[in-house]
């Protein structure tokens, strides 16, 4: 939670630490591939490979979910709280079901493969064809409660 009074909820969905280790391993493997060409090309390949893999990991961990006084902000999306209905915390099999066979193609889905819990929020705006929002989150109960209190 943030200390800003206008911010009711703030979560950054960071990539797991193991992904960073994989990024470094990718850089090391690139160095091994270029080792026959000499030490300098191997070091350049290691730095380039690590930076490339690190950029990918960083982009996967840059999503934020915020609730302000009148908006739910998910990445670049800005959704007015008055357009949202009931928020339901999803865990385990129920979260997987809403990611897969229960999913609606018109829904706003903010998925992160490394997070197994989520919140499903009904959209009650009659002018919006989106039936619900599916938001991956590590703290589904807190996010659902924050949406209920802010609405």
According to DSSP, residue 16 is labeled P
The answer for residues whose C-beta is within 8 angstroms of residue 24's C-beta and 6 or more apart is 50, 53
Residue among 28, 73, 34, 65 at smallest CA distance from 46: 28
pLDDT tens figures, 52-90: 999 999 988 778 999 998 899 998 899 999 999 999 999
Q: Where are the domains of the chain?
A: 81-150
Q: What is the pLDDT of residue 3?
A: 46
Spans of the chain below 50 pLDDT: 1-4
pTM: 0.80
- State the average pLDDT for the chain: 91
63: its two tokens: 């999503």
């Amino acid at each position: 939670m943030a200390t800003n009074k206008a911010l009711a909820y703030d979560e950054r969905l960071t990539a797991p630490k193991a992904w960073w280790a994989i990024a470094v391993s990718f850089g090391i493997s690139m160095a091994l591939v270029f080792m026959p060409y000499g030490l300098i090309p191997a070091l350049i390949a290691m730095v380039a490979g690590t930076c490339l893999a690190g950029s990918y990991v960083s982009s996967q961990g840059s999503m934020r979910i915020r609730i302000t006084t009148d908006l739910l902000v998910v990445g670049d999306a800005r959704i007015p709280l008055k357009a949202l209905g009931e928020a339901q915390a999803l865990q385990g099999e129920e979260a997987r079901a809403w990611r897969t066979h229960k999913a609606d193609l018109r829904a706003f889905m903010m998925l992160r493969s490394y997070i197994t819990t989520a919140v499903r929020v009904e959209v009650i705006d009659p002018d919006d064809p989106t039936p619900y929002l599916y938001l991956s989150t590590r703290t589904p109960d807190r996010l659902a409660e924050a949406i209920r209190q802010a609405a």
